[in-house]
Structure 1
């Protein structure tokens, strides 16, 4: 079961990383405006996700990859907290409303827990 969770996390990270390059507009939209350099951040995080996914996939680097994934995904909490701060009930997109912003935050915490579980099982 641990190997399945690790491979699933690796694939999730790699696919999400590639999607940063295929749909950069969507990912730029998630970057808080005050961070600036949306294009650079989207490209850098996309490439990092692919690399970290590779680390998680390979058994001998899974421990480091799992912890790297947890740290990387934790960094994304900045975006989700910012979205919650800016959320308004009258916004047209669900992710810009309070319920959607809370859902983003909660799902991201579950991703962090997933990465930590993979790292711990690799130890």
Structure 2
């Protein structure tokens, strides 16, 4: 198995795991959602379904391209929640604020990673 294929399975597994976490820890994901979005719980559960779907689509050669495009769209769509998390850490003076700031550029890395699987 080549490195890129292993990487595809890692990203797919990561997406599936994080998607499942939306159902196990919905309050955490609701807490980082921007306040201007409605129906937080519904959107958290829906994004969990989307993440799981992206992960599954990536795993199979026939669907990996659509999975990669969907993952890129997902990573762009959830970026405001990552910014909101940083904002909340700053406003509440919570420990780990700098970790949330350092984490933001990694979203670009996730997008680049997903783009590798477009055929």
Q: What TM-score comes out, normalization by structure 2 length?
A: 0.87
Residue 68 (structure 1) aligns with: 70
Q: What are the Cα deviations for residues 80-115 of structure 1, in whole angstroms up to 9, with x where unaligned?
A: 233445552761231xx2x23322311222111111
Indicate if the aligned counterparts of 1:70 and 1:115 stay in contact, CA closer than 8 A: yes
Higher helix share: 1
Superposition CA RMSD, Å = 1.8
Instruction: Give me the whole-angstrom Cα distance separating, in 2, the residues matched to 1:89 and 1:33.
Output: 14
Q: How far did 1:58 drift?
A: 0.8
* Residue segments in structure 2 that go unaligned for 5+ positions in a row: none
Instruction: Give me the whole-angstrom Cα distance separating, in 2, the residues matched to 1:64 and 1:23.
Output: 27
* Residue 86 to residue 19, structure 1, CA distance change in 2 (3 Å): closer
Instruction: Give me the whole-angstrom Cα distance separating, in 2, the residues matched to 1:93 and 1:109.
Output: 24
Residue 4 (structure 1) aligns with: 6
More deviation, 82-91/61-70: 82-91
Q: Secondary structure at the match of 1:33?
A: coil
Instruction: Give me the whole-angstrom Cα distance separating, in 2, the residues matched to 1:12 and 1:116.
Output: 15
Aligned pairs, number: 117
- Runs of at least 4 residues of structure 1 off by over 6 A? none
Residue 48 (structure 2) aligns with: 46
* Residue 67 to residue 89, structure 1, CA distance change in 2 (3 Å): same
